[in-house]
A and B are shown apart, each in its own frame.
Chain A
């Protein structure tokens, strides 16, 4: 029996998926599905259960309860058959540091039983894709963090997987390295590779995901496209004002009366409205002189704050 063809339904679907470690519940009965060609995200802070969910999908972790099918099969029963069509980029690079860039790709390709001839040709493509042509003979231990990350992604692509799974792909990278990586992932998306991404960066989720679920403490808080989530759970714009740490809370009642909703953070107050220039004007008119103020568009960060009362990166 071959794995299910994508036209027959979602590539991945989960119902009541649950994972417990003793008394701790990492994933608390979640439902979701991922369609072919889609770029699907799990957004949430560290410890939300994103990586656990990813590992259950990748058939390297057993579930406690619930149903899940990946490419039409149960990961617990058909691990190798499912993993054959996944490209996995784990949270921490697990490259073979003592081997060269090229050999890392080669060895990994062999684990899929691919022929030497195929892998040799594929390596050229992947080195170009990962912008590592000049590093092909270099041992991995000598690469920068961004290069290692790109190599791990290239490695995951050696078997031309149906689904590419990226766990926190840009955590720990500098801004420039992140942008290079996002550009590479965009190219894959254009080619129709299904992407599964976990992240705790809202800008990454906005950039890369067609659809995402917001997770917190093992539960799904919301599910939609980034724009849809913002529309549903936030206003068009946000006004950030600072009065100094003592007074932020002190003024909160006055500020709350002026707009739809406010969030008081330790260092600043967020005010939600569709027209924030106007709102700022009112704040100033009321005689509350903020030390700094900023008007910006709503982001997924605001969605998360609304849903959980907490910020994503703490």
Chain B
């Protein structure tokens, strides 16, 4: 059999190393997104179904009982309006953290794809950044859909509420960066992920002042909220959405907290990606 012979120029001619050093993170993100697109219908379906379920059952269902019992509303607004920024933030944060968890465990353990990436000019740090970027992109998509659903149900209104999107995405990136580092740090993944999901994500979702003001909780439970990026995102979200009262100092603390989480999450991830890939 006659096979076509190589027209070989060689990597010294065709590989542009400085270009990879600049853009490597984006290559990884692109590859991750291409991978996600295989499941585009389930991603889209989930992005639409998830807000619908929560808005209808909690926002409207429980909302009906809350509104009839709280004549002055909660925090001065209807329950759905109170709930909307929190639901948006929790969906975005949980979505982003799920989107880093699966590929990270897979890349290190199940199909060892990260090792393949790292045998090219791509560095460990670029792999971490790329995975985070793709997760944030996916969360952004989900968040936009969620925002539209909120708009439809009257949970948010006005142009100013668009500011919810960047604020929410920022908090999701911060938390996802931490999760990224955590997934890289752990070795026995299956059991630990179970623990994380149920003992970390679930309490964050339930005790971050999502469904009621954190201040109505007993003091000893409030600290969960202070540590939770979801609570900080929710507070800012409520401030943006309907002018929930927070002092300027409060706002700065919320943003500072999330910024610190983002930066330390990235450093944490870079450290463990390097460690795992050069072991």
Chain A residues near B14 (CB, 8 Å)? 114, 118, 159-160
How many Å from the CB of A192 to the closest CB on chain B? 8
The A interface, classified by DSSP as helix, strand, loop or mixed, is loop
How many Å from the CB of A139 to the closest CB on chain B? 10
Known: A61-B278, A110-B30, A160-B10. A83 touches B4 (CB 8 A): no
- Please, how many residues of chain A have a CB less than 8 angstroms from a CB on the other chain? 42
Q: Is A292 an interface residue (CB 8 A)?
A: no
Q: Which of A97-105, A201-209, A297-305 contacts B (4 or more CB under 8 A)?
A: A97-105
> Hey, what's the 0/1 contact readout for B1-31 against A, CB within 8 Å counting as 1?
0011111111111111101110110011011
Chain A residues near B217 (CB, 8 Å)? none
- Nearest CB in chain A to that of B17: its residue: A84
Give Cα A108–Cα B122 distance, bound, in whole angstroms: 10
Report yes or no: B119 in contact with A90, Cβ–Cβ below 8 A: yes
Known: A83-B121, A85-B12. A113 touches B20 (CB 8 A): yes
Q: Is B247 an interface residue (CB 8 A)?
A: no
Return the contact of B4 from the options A61, A62, A103, A128 (Cβ within 8 A).
Answer: A128
How many Å from the CB of B123 to the closest CB on chain A? 6
Band of interface residues on B: 35 or more
Q: Is B189 an interface residue (CB 8 A)?
A: no
Give Cα A7–Cα B4 distance, bound, in whole angstroms: 29
Report yes or no: A111 in contact with B122, Cβ–Cβ below 8 A: yes
How many Å from the CB of B127 to the closest CB on chain A? 10
CB-contacts of A55-100 with B (<8 A): 58, 60-62, 79-81, 83-86, 88, 90, 92, 94-99
Give Cα A58–Cα B115 distance, bound, in whole angstroms: 11
How many Å from the CB of B141 to the closest CB on chain A? 20
Give Cα A129–Cα B6 distance, bound, in whole angstroms: 9
Q: Is A267 an interface residue (CB 8 A)?
A: no
Give Cα A60–Cα B23 distance, bound, in whole angstroms: 20
Report yes or no: B20 in contact with A84, Cβ–Cβ below 8 A: yes
Chain B residues near A79 (CB, 8 Å)? 123
Report yes or no: A94 in contact with B30, Cβ–Cβ below 8 A: no
Report yes or no: B8 in contact with A88, Cβ–Cβ below 8 A: no
Q: Is B201 an interface residue (CB 8 A)?
A: no
Known: A81-B121, A110-B31, A111-B120. A128 touches B3 (CB 8 A): yes
Return the contact of A85 from the options B9, B15, B27, B28 (Cβ within 8 A).
Answer: B15
Return the contact of A94 from the options B7, B10, B112 (Cβ within 8 A).
Answer: B112
Report yes or no: A96 in contact with B15, Cβ–Cβ below 8 A: no
Chain B residues near A103 (CB, 8 Å)? 34
> Hey, what's the 0/1 contact readout for B100-126 against A, CB within 8 Å counting as 1?
000000000001110111111111000
Chain B residues near A111 (CB, 8 Å)? 20, 24, 27-28, 31, 117, 120-122
Report yes or no: A94 in contact with B4, Cβ–Cβ below 8 A: no
Report yes or no: B3 in contact with A129, Cβ–Cβ below 8 A: yes
Give Cα A58–Cα B31 distance, bound, in whole angstroms: 23
- Nearest CB in chain B to that of A79: its residue: B123
Chain A residues near B7 (CB, 8 Å)? 125
Report yes or no: B111 in contact with A97, Cβ–Cβ below 8 A: yes
Chain A residues near B188 (CB, 8 Å)? none
How many Å from the CB of B272 to the closest CB on chain A? 15
Report yes or no: A2 in contact with B119, Cβ–Cβ below 8 A: no
Report yes or no: A2 in contact with B12, Cβ–Cβ below 8 A: yes
How many Å from the CB of A153 to the closest CB on chain B? 13
How many Å from the CB of B128 to the closest CB on chain A? 15
Known: A60-B119, A113-B23. A94 touches B111 (CB 8 A): yes
Q: Is A161 an interface residue (CB 8 A)?
A: yes
Q: Is B251 an interface residue (CB 8 A)?
A: no
Give Cα A270–Cα B154 distance, bound, in whole angstroms: 88
Q: Is A191 an interface residue (CB 8 A)?
A: yes
- Shortest Cβ-Cβ A-B pairs, 9 listed: A88-B119, A111-B120, A80-B121, A94-B112, A113-B20, A84-B121, A94-B116, A85-B11, A84-B15
Given contact pairs A110-B31, A112-B20, A113-B121, enumerate 11 new A-B contacts (beta carbons under 8 Å).
Answer: A84-B17, A84-B121, A85-B11, A90-B116, A92-B112, A99-B38, A111-B20, A112-B120, A160-B10, A160-B14, A161-B11
Q: B-contacting residues of A (Cβ < 8 Å)? A: 2-3, 58, 60-62, 79-81, 83-86, 88, 90, 92, 94-99, 103, 107-108, 110-114, 118, 125, 128-129, 155, 159-162, 187, 191-192
Give 15 pairs: A residue, B residue, CB < 8 Å, sorted on A: A2-B12, A3-B12, A62-B278, A83-B119, A90-B115, A94-B116, A98-B35, A111-B24, A112-B11, A113-B24, A113-B121, A128-B3, A159-B11, A160-B10, A192-B8
